[in-house]
Structure 1
Amino acid sequence: MLERFKRRARGAGQAAVGESAFPGPQSFAPYVLVYSYDATAVTVRRYDTLGEGDPELAPGKVNWVRVVGVHDEAFVRAVGKRFGLHPLLMDDVLARGHRPVLEEYDSGIFVLLRLLGYDEAHKRVLAEQVCLVASDGYALTFQEREANLWDALAAKLEKGGGRLTKRGREHLTHALIAAVLDEYILTLGRLAEDIEELEQAVLSGVDGDTLTETYRLKREVLFLHRSLWPLREVLGRYLADESNTADPGAAFLWNDIRQDVYQVLDAVETLREMLSEMVGLSMTKAELRMNAVGQYLTLVATIFLPLNFLVGFFGMNFDNLPLKSEEWGIYGLMGFMALTIIGMTLYFYRKHWIANTKVE
C-alpha cells in the first residue's frame, strides 16, 4: 500500500522493491494478439501496429485480445480507445504498484491482479501487474512482460483449445484468473520450502544470521499478504452484489475463484505464523545463550572469590600472620587454594550447575 508513496519519494520512474516483475526495462515493441475461437476452429491474429478499428474481433466467436507490453503509453491507450475504456481505467493499466482491483461496469468487469513468481537464486517474491477487461464476447488482457504464465493457455488455444473452445467468455475469464491463482500456489510452495529449511536450521542451532533471514522472508510473506488480501475483499463484495442477478454458471465460476483465493490466503497466514514463531524461537535461543554465558561467568567468579580472600588476607603487612614465618607456608597456602578450587568445582558439578552450562 505504501509502495506508491515510496516511489514518489524516490522519483517517478523508479520501481519499488517487489513492485516490478523482473528487473530491467522491457526492450521489445508492444503488440496485440487476438485469439478468436468457437467450437469448430481457433484463429490467431497479430497486430504490431494499430490502424482504424484494430484490433478486429471475430463476430459470433469468443475473442481473447492479449496486449503484450504496456511500456508504450500511446500504443496501450490506442487499444483502450478502440474498446471504449475510460481514461482513468487506462491510468490504472499503465501505472504499476496498485492494489488488486475488481470493478464492475455497464458492459463488463475490470480486474487488476499481481502475477507473482519466486526467484530461487535471490529467494525473493517477484510481481507483475496484469489487467483483465471482460465484456460481451471478448476478454482483453494487459501484461508487462513478453512471456508469462498465460503463454500456456495461449499455446493450448493454438493447438485447438480442448474443452475451452466449447465454452463461452465466462470460462475464458475464469481460466485466465485461475492461471494466476495457480501460480500463487506454486510461489507459496517454493517459499514454504525455504521457510521450512530455515526453520530446521533454527531448531538445529546452525550458526549464521538466521534472525535476519527470518525477517527477510517475513517481509516477502507480508508482500504476498498485501497482494492478495484486497482481492478477497473485492471478490466478496462483487459476489454479494451479484448473488441474485448473476448467471448461475458464471456465479459458480466466480465462487470457485473465491475459494482458491481463500485457500491461498490461508496458506499465507500459515507462513506468517511460522515466521512469527521462528522469530520468537530465535530470540529465545539468543536469551538462553546469554543466560548460559552469565551463569558460566558467575560460576568462575564464585570459584575465585575465596582465592581472592586468601590472597588479600595473607598479603597484609603483619608479621604474625599464620604460615608467614614457615618455609613451607607458601606451599601450604597454594595447596589449600587448590583444594578450595577442586572442592567448589565438585560441589557445583554435583548440583548439576556446571553440567547444564553449555555455551554455543
Structure 2
Amino acid sequence: MKISSTKNISQKTGLPPGSLVHVGNHMQGHTDIEIIQFNEDSLAEITPKSADECFKQLSPDTLTWIRITGLGEIDKIEQIGSDFGIHPLLLEDILNTSHRISIEDFESYICTIFKILSYDESSGHIERDQVSLIFGENFVISFQERPTAIFNPALDHIRNPKSRLRKMKSDYLFYTLMDMVVDNYFVLVEKLGDMLEVLEEEIIENPSYATINKLHLMKREMIHLRKAIWPFREVLNRLQRSDSELIYDSTLMYFKDVYDHIIQVLDTIESFRDILSGMVDIYISISGNKMNEIMKVLTIMSTIFIPLTFLAGVYGMNFKYMPELELPWFYPWFFYGMLAAIALAMLAFFKKKRWI
C-alpha cells in the first residue's frame, strides 16, 4: 500500500480551521455530480448543470442520492456543503484524503469517512481511495476521489422497481453503499491469499533473495492494510449504538452484519500475517539446510584429503635413505594405489554412517 500522499498539504499551512484544500494522491481537476432520485414508484437520474441544483432537487416524497466524483472543484463542494448545512471542518476532512476512517454524528445528518482498497496489478501495491458518505432524512451524499465501479451494483438495484432499495429509507441506502465497500475487502483478501499461495510454493521450490524481498513487502502491505481497516470496527460499533433518529431499528441488524464481515476480514489479515511469519522461518530454515549441505560436502572433501596430504608430504621430503624409492614401479602401483585405497575406504565409511 502506498504511503498516504501529502500533496498540497503545505497549502493548508497558516490557514484557519475549515479552509478547504484538496489533499491526496489523485488530484482530479474536475468534479462530476450525478443525482439519483427515487421512491417505490418512480426513478429519475439527473445530471445537474450547477451544484446548487442538488439541494433544490430534494423532495420529502423521494430518496435522493447525490454522487460526487472528483474533489478538484472546491467551489462545487463548498456550495453543496453550504446548502446542506455540512460543517466546514467536516468538509475539510472530506477533502483531506489521507484522513483516517471516522464517523461524525450530527443532529440532522451522519457522516462516515472510509477507504476503498484494491490491488493494482501494474504497480504491485494496494491502492487506497477515500470515500465519504453523508446521509440525512431523505438524502445520501457520496464523495469519491475518482471514478470507480464499486457502487454500480447499488445503482443497478435502484433501477430495479422490485428491489428492496426502492422501498427503504436513506439509512438502508447508506448501509448498502458501506456494505459494498466491505464486500470489496473480501475480493482484495482473496487476491492476497492467492499471492501467498504462489509465494509459499516459490519459497519451497526455489527460494532466493528476491523471494525474501517479496515476503518483506507483503508483510508491510499487511500492516498498512490492517491499519486502514481496523478503525472501521469503531465506526460500525457507533452506528449500532447510535440513538440517532436517522437510523431505524430495522436497519441496525444490517450494520451488525457488516460489523461481522469486518471482523472476518481482520481475522483473515491476522492469519495472513502469521502465515508470512511462518514463511520467513521456512525460508531461513531452507537457507540454513542448504548451507549445511555445502559445509558437509566441503568437510568430507577436506577429511578425505587430510591423510592423502600427509602421505604426499612424507614422500615429498628430501631424505636420502628411503628404500622403496629404488623400486621402479613404487609410485604408480603402491603409492598412488594406497592413496586411492584410503580415499575409497573413507568414502565407504561415510556411506555406512549415512553422512553422504
* TM-score, scaled relative to structure 2: 0.87
The CA deviation string for residues 289-331 of structure 1, in whole angstroms up to 9 with x for no partner, is 1111111111111111111111122222222246333322322
Structure 1 Cα separation of the partners of residues 355 and 9 of structure 2: 56
The CA deviation string for residues 251-285 of structure 1, in whole angstroms up to 9 with x for no partner, is 21221111111111112112212222111111111
| Partner residue, 1:302 | 303
| Counterparts of residues 232-247 of structure 1 (less than 5 Å) | 232-240=233-241, 242=243, 247=248
| Paired residues of 2:39 and 2:63 also in contact (CA < 8 A) | yes
| Partner residue, 1:131 | 132
The CA deviation string for residues 167-223 of structure 1, in whole angstroms up to 9 with x for no partner, is 111110110000101111111111211111221222334667222222222222222
| Paired residues of 1:31 and 1:49 also in contact (CA < 8 A) | no
| Partner residue, 2:77 | 76
| Paired residues of 1:43 and 1:158 also in contact (CA < 8 A) | no
| Paired residues of 2:157 and 2:165 also in contact (CA < 8 A) | no
Q: What amino acid is aligned across from residue 292 of structure 1 in structure 2?
A: E
DSSP-derived class of the 2:230 partner: helix
The CA deviation string for residues 16-64 of structure 1, in whole angstroms up to 9 with x for no partner, is xxx84xxx6536x312212121111111221242247745312222111
| Partner residue, 2:267 | 266
| Partner residue, 2:182 | 181
Residues 199 and 132 of structure 1: is their aligned pair in 2 closer, same or farther, counting only changes over 3 Å? same
Structure 2 Cα separation of the partners of residues 76 and 10 of structure 1: 18
DSSP-derived class of the 1:111 partner: strand
DSSP-derived class of the 2:65 partner: strand
| Partner residue, 2:312 | 311
Residues 333 and 32 of structure 1: is their aligned pair in 2 closer, same or farther, counting only changes over 3 Å? same
Structure 1 Cα separation of the partners of residues 171 and 238 of structure 2: 19
| Partner residue, 1:195 | 196
Residues 343 and 7 of structure 1: is their aligned pair in 2 closer, same or farther, counting only changes over 3 Å? farther
| Partner residue, 1:16 | none
How much does 1:2 deviate? 11
- Give the root-mean-square deviation of aligned CA atoms: 2.8
Question: Which ranges of structure 2 fall in alignment gaps of 5 or more residues?
Answer: 13-23
Structure 2 Cα separation of the partners of residues 242 and 335 of structure 1: 97
| Paired residues of 1:202 and 1:282 also in contact (CA < 8 A) | yes
Residues 207 and 2 of structure 1: is their aligned pair in 2 closer, same or farther, counting only changes over 3 Å? closer
The CA deviation string for residues 77-103 of structure 1, in whole angstroms up to 9 with x for no partner, is 222222111111111111122221122
Structure 1 Cα separation of the partners of residues 56 and 114 of structure 2: 24
Q: What amino acid is aligned across from residue 79 of structure 1 in structure 2?
A: I
DSSP-derived class of the 1:43 partner: strand
Structure 2 Cα separation of the partners of residues 25 and 133 of structure 1: 22
Question: Which ranges of structure 1 fall in alignment gaps of 5 or more residues?
Answer: 14-18, 355-360
| Counterparts of residues 1-360 of structure 1 (less than 5 Å) | 3=3, 7=6, 20=25, 25-26=27-28, 29-51=30-52, 54=55, 56-160=57-161, 162-205=163-206, 209-240=210-241, 242=243, 247-321=248-322, 323-331=324-332, 332-354=334-356
Residues 322 and 164 of structure 1: is their aligned pair in 2 closer, same or farther, counting only changes over 3 Å? farther
How much does 1:141 deviate? 0.7
Q: What amino acid is aligned across from residue 298 of structure 1 in structure 2?
A: T
| Paired residues of 2:55 and 2:84 also in contact (CA < 8 A) | no
DSSP-derived class of the 2:324 partner: coil
Structure 2 Cα separation of the partners of residues 46 and 9 of structure 1: 29
| Paired residues of 1:31 and 1:48 also in contact (CA < 8 A) | no
Aligned-pair identity in percent equals 27
Residues 182 and 347 of structure 1: is their aligned pair in 2 closer, same or farther, counting only changes over 3 Å? same
| Paired residues of 2:52 and 2:80 also in contact (CA < 8 A) | no
| Partner residue, 1:358 | none
* TM-score, scaled relative to structure 1: 0.86
| Partner residue, 1:357 | none
DSSP-derived class of the 2:233 partner: helix
DSSP-derived class of the 1:47 partner: coil
DSSP-derived class of the 1:91 partner: helix
Q: What amino acid is aligned across from residue 256 of structure 1 in structure 2?
A: D
| Paired residues of 2:2 and 2:125 also in contact (CA < 8 A) | no
Structure 1 Cα separation of the partners of residues 85 and 173 of structure 2: 21
Residues 91 and 3 of structure 1: is their aligned pair in 2 closer, same or farther, counting only changes over 3 Å? farther
DSSP-derived class of the 2:60 partner: coil
Structure 1 Cα separation of the partners of residues 163 and 242 of structure 2: 32
Which stretch of structure 1 is more off in the superposition, 268-277 or 215-224?
Answer: 215-224
Q: What amino acid is aligned across from residue 37 of structure 1 in structure 2?
A: F
| Paired residues of 2:28 and 2:71 also in contact (CA < 8 A) | no
DSSP-derived class of the 2:326 partner: coil
Aligned residues: 343
